[in-house]
Structure 1
Amino acid sequence: MLLVCAFKFDKKKRKKICVWSNIGMDVCCMQSVPVYLSEMAPARLRGMLNIGFQLMITIGILAAALINYGTNKIKAGYGWRISLALAAVPAGIITLGSLFLPDTPNSLIERGHPEAARRMLNRIRGSDVDISEEYADLVVASEESKLVQHPWRNILQRKYRPQLTMAIMIPFFQQLTGINVIMFYAPVLFETLGFKGDASLMSAVITGLVNVFATLVSVFTVDRLGRRKLFLQGGSQMLVSQLVVGTLIAVKFGTSGVGEMPKGYAAAVVLFICLYVAGFAWSWGPLGWLVPSEIFPLEIRPAGQSINVSVNMLFTFVIAQAFLTMLCHMKFGLFYFFAGWVVIMTVFIALFLPETKNVPIEEMVLVWKGHWFWRRYIGDADVHVGANNGKGAAIA
């Protein structure tokens, strides 16, 4: 559980007023859940089921905002303790629920249980589905992975350059969208814009609601529209929203950072912030976890996902630590700063990320082999797709 606390000190009452922003996500879940879902889901539903993970996160963020709003009304001053203690509830649910989760077919094959893997694959695909080709692909992938003795060293090989690049750049860019600035410091930010007390927390609840409903949009469209279209549309929407918010704040506060913001003007700022959150919630938010989890071959999949999570956590920490200092020095320019990064990351996706929808996870190498830039890193000897012989990749 990542907790970010913004303290203000009331010298008259000699007590701390704490505004908590809870992000219901720990490193263990981010490492294992996206990969688990990608291995268990059929290719045609992999995006929808994997983004269900992000949907639960957004519901957790909304629940945290509602809890903060309620506990902030406790006059005795111990509301923050209740808010913090309630984080144990989802942690307990995750712990107990994990005891009932079955192993993935990939994991069973890797640990020498081929028949159990076949039964599990048949169970999750349905008894009326022919699993022989998919099972053969899993066996081939497992046999190749056993030849890799040092996944952390092998991931540096030339043939894995596309996947390694995405595992580093996607989480890096995801944090530089500026979303954590909004979600971590929403109450403080809205209070700075002229909202007071409970109104600032209510604004955080509003952004949480937008986050949930926009993620639902991604759940129902990611396997139809594809990853690239959502990335590009969401990036464009975030760019426009950030430029508008930065400009509106610049007009009223200027470089001094001091000014008054009428209610109607503040409502316009909130509207475009909500549009920004929506753009993130159906693009870079869920896809930042989905795409890295589905592109790695089995032999380097744990190492690849570890890199993805580590980069994400590193830049989450960096942005959280640097935000207040940057805000003091850059003021409204901070929104232009993040808008500039959104331009870079949108161009990056347009040029270097191939479409991965409907491609079986063990045939993903064919996607990179067919890309105009990445194909130079993958030789014919690096392409092994088992009995299916690449048929699934043609769907994309």
Structure 2
Amino acid sequence: MNVMAKAEKKISSAFIYFFGSFGGILFGYDIGVMTGALPFLQADWHLENAASLVGWITSAVMFGAIFGGALAGQLSDKFGRRKMILMSAIVFVVFSVLSGVSPDMGEASAYYLIIVRMLLGLAVGAASALVPAYMSEMAPAKARGRLSGLNQTMIVSGMLLSYVVDFLLKDLPGEWAWRLMLGLAAVPALILFLGVLRLPESPRFLLRKGDEAQARKVLSYIRKNPAEIDQELASIKETAKEERQANQKTSWSSLFSGKYRYLVIAGVGVAAFQQFQGANAIFYYIPLIVQKATGQAASSNLMWPIVQGVILVVGSLVYMWIADKFNRRTLLMVGGAVMGLSFILPAVINWMMPNMNPMTIVVFLCIYVAFYSFTWAPLTWVLVGEIFPLAIRGRASGLASSFNWIGSWLVGLIFPIMTASMPQEAVFAIFGIICILGVIFVKTCVPETRGHTLEEIEEQGTNHGRVKASNPEN
């Protein structure tokens, strides 16, 4: 027992935060990997004219993630964050390998891959829910904003890694290229599993299970002095007590009561707009977008995803620098406005100048990604983490996550169907209009949360509900 204690004592806070957030790499890798694999898969299985099947293969992971996040949240309350992250890594390894060894059985192959990727999506959704929860419970309050930025950086780094892997494998025979691209997702999942084996359980979960001694021990790894540990233990106990009382008094219908409706609509709306604005259409289909614009084979355009990945990583670092310097609403409105114009202007230019350079649309997509990367991408989850009152936080956060994944799934599914039936510029113009609607939504329906305590934010929502109740015509 003493030997184990000494071994645990050597765990550094840097190791805990690195592997605690490493699940973001898996999340990002699987978002990005199909970008490069899809052109080879289409050619190998002759799916060039099967827009619906292509949409389902691409979006199947997001469909599974809708359920994976909710399921993992429930199970982690019973079994712990650490164990569920380990289980997610195992599921990720198994179904990544099964994706890579998909049998070649004609059209039946596509249905096999769709089912396997749906099951893989359970692990992706679980990682998206578990990693922020684990990190928020391990991080000191003063570092939570910065560590939220670390999680976003891990996600976009995973996307960039997948783009680089796709590029390096592009010269292999087509039937091998896409299989290795998908199968190699098992490697970061295996690294995550080995790293998490050494991670401790979160002190909040340990206290909930009545193991105060182990919770104190875990906090000793990541807090500097005993007084800080005592204060945090007391705070966790008090919060857990409040949450138990809140959960007993609320139900799903409480989310849309007059008292909470304003903040629930604000948080869920921002989470939904983030995906319906069309970002994932770029991340999943950029080689096919370039192919349609220029006529060059999609498999020869795998440098463009790397460009997008670099922009995303740089943007995540920019966000960490500016996060506490500007209001949340300001960043979301400026970002959304530029994103909307980046989608709408190519359609306007093409209408006015039908012979415009086909690469113009790609340049505007890069501008879109740049502004998305340091505004809507990270700020959505910062705002969702801040805006929901304690009494409904669990249910409201789950609802926001579900709407986000539903949006991600629908964009991945319908984009190839839309581009098969109308000009690419028109499709992006539709997404551009949604971006502008998102700006209007933020301006009219979302309160400012920067610099406000959670209690002050809750009071804003409560007061807004009272005003609406007393002035229904408003």
- Provide TM-score, normalisation by structure 1: 0.78
Contact 1:155 1:164 in 2 (8 A): no
Which residue identity is paired with 1:241?
Answer: S
After TM superposition, the structure 1 = structure 2 runs for residues 241-256 of structure 1, keeping only pairs within 5 Å, are 241-251=342-352
Q: Which of the residues 335, 338, 352 maps onto 2:431?
A: 338
Deviations 1:208-254 (A, max 9, x none): 2111111111122213324333212211221221222332344565x
- Cα distance in 1 for partners of 2:390, 2:209 equals 13
Q: Check the 8 A contact 2:261/2:465 in 1, yes or no.
A: no
- Kindly indicate whether residue 415 of structure 2 is the aligned counterpart of residue 323 of structure 1: yes
SS of 2:449 mapped into structure 1: coil
Match of 1:207 among 266, 290, 308: 308
Of 61, 78, 89, the match for 2:187: 89
1:391 alignment counterpart: none
Aligned to 1:78: 176
Matched letter for residue 454 of structure 2: M
1:130-141 aligned at under 5 Å gives the runs: 130=228, 135-141=233-239
The alpha-carbon distance between structure 1 residues 43 and 266, as it changes in their structure 2 partners (threshold 3 A), is farther
Output the CA distance in 1 between the equivalents of 2:201 and 2:262. 28
- Asked if structure 1 preserves the Cα contact closer than 8 Å seen for 2:40 and 2:174, the reply is no
C-alpha spacing 1:301/1:106, structure 2 compared with 1 (3 Å): farther
1:98-137 matches, within 5 Å, as 98-114=196-212, 116-117=214-215, 120-121=218-219, 123-127=221-225, 130=228, 135-137=233-235
**Residues in 2 aligned to 1:213 and 1:68: alpha-carbon distance in whole angstroms:** 20
Unaligned runs of 5+ residues in structure 1 are 254-259, 379-396
Q: For residue 54 of structure 1, what is the aligned residue in structure 2?
A: 152
The equivalent residue for 1:355 is 448
Which is helix-richer, 1 or 2?
2
After TM superposition, the structure 1 = structure 2 runs for residues 225-374 of structure 1, keeping only pairs within 5 Å, are: 225-251=326-352, 265-296=357-388, 300-331=392-423, 332-357=425-450, 363-370=453-460, 374=464
Please state how far the C-alpha of 1:130 moved relative to its aligned partner: 4.5
Q: Structure 1 residues 373, 297: closer, same or farther in 2, change over 3 A?
A: closer
Secondary structure of the corresponding residue to residue 70 of structure 1: helix
Alpha-carbon distance in 1 for matches of 2:252, 2:265:
15
2:319 matched to which residue of 1? 218
2:294 to 177, 194, 197: 194
1:40 aligns with 2:133: no
Displacement of 1:140: 2.5
The code of the aligned residue for 2:264 comes to L
1:293 to 1:276, Cα distance in 2 relative to 1, 3 A = same
By how many angstroms is 1:154 displaced?
A: 6.7
Deviation at 1:37, TM superposition (A): 2.4
Judge conservation of contact 1:242–1:273 (CA < 8 Å) in 2: yes
Deviations 1:277-321 (A, max 9, x none): 011111111222232234445554443332222212212111222
Distance 1:291 1:48 in 2: 14
Q: Which amino acid aligns with 1:41?
A: A
**CA distance in structure 1 between the aligned counterparts of 2:335 and 2:279, rounded to whole angstroms:** 13
- 1:179 correspondence with 2:279: yes
Letter in 1 for 2:155: I
SS in 2 for 1:223: coil
CA RMSD of aligned residues (A): 3.5
> Alignment partner of 2:201: what SS?
coil
Distance in 2 of aligned mates of 1:7 and 1:162: 47
Structure 2: runs of 5+ lacking an equivalent? 1-29, 49-53, 63-120, 469-474
* Contact 1:245 1:273 survives alignment (8 Å): no
Deviation at 1:15, TM superposition (A): 6.2
User: How far off its partner does 1:110 sit?
Assistant: 2.5
Question: Is 1:156 the counterpart of 2:156 in the alignment?
Answer: no
Determine helix, strand or coil for the equivalent of 2:294.
coil
Deviation at 1:70, TM superposition (A): 2.2
C-alpha distance 124-298 of structure 1, shift in aligned 2 (>3 A): farther
Task: Work out the number of aligned pairs and report it.
Answer: 365
* Structure 1: distance between partners of 2:216 and 2:408: 40
Q: Deviations over 1:303-345 (max 9, x none)?
A: 3332222212212111222112322444222222112111121
CA–CA separation in structure 1 for the residues paired with 2:325 and 2:142: 9
- For residues 38 and 291 of structure 1, what CA distance do their matches in structure 2 show? 14
Asked whether the equivalents of residues 41 and 49 of structure 1 are also in contact (C-alpha less than 8 Å), the reply is yes
Which deviates more from structure 2 when the two are superposed, residues 240-249 or residues 180-189?
Answer: 240-249
Matched AA of 2:283: M
TM-score (norm 2): 0.67
Q: 1:115 to 1:346 in 2, by over 3 A?
A: farther
Structure 1 stretch 44-53 or stretch 159-168: which is displaced more?
Answer: 159-168
Q: Report the identity percentage.
A: 28
**1:271 and 1:249, CA in 2 relative to 1: closer, same or farther beyond 3 A?**
same
Match in the other structure for 1:382: none
Partner secondary structure for residue 338 of structure 2: helix
For 1:257, the equivalent position in structure 2 comes to none
Q: 1: CA distance between counterparts of 2:446 and 2:216?
A: 32
Three-state SS of the structure 1 residue aligned to 2:302 is helix
CA 1:164 to 1:372, structure 2 compared with 1: closer, same or farther past 3 Å? closer
Structure 1: distance between partners of 2:310 and 2:339: 17
**Contact 2:41–2:175, Cα closer than 8 Å, also in 1:** no
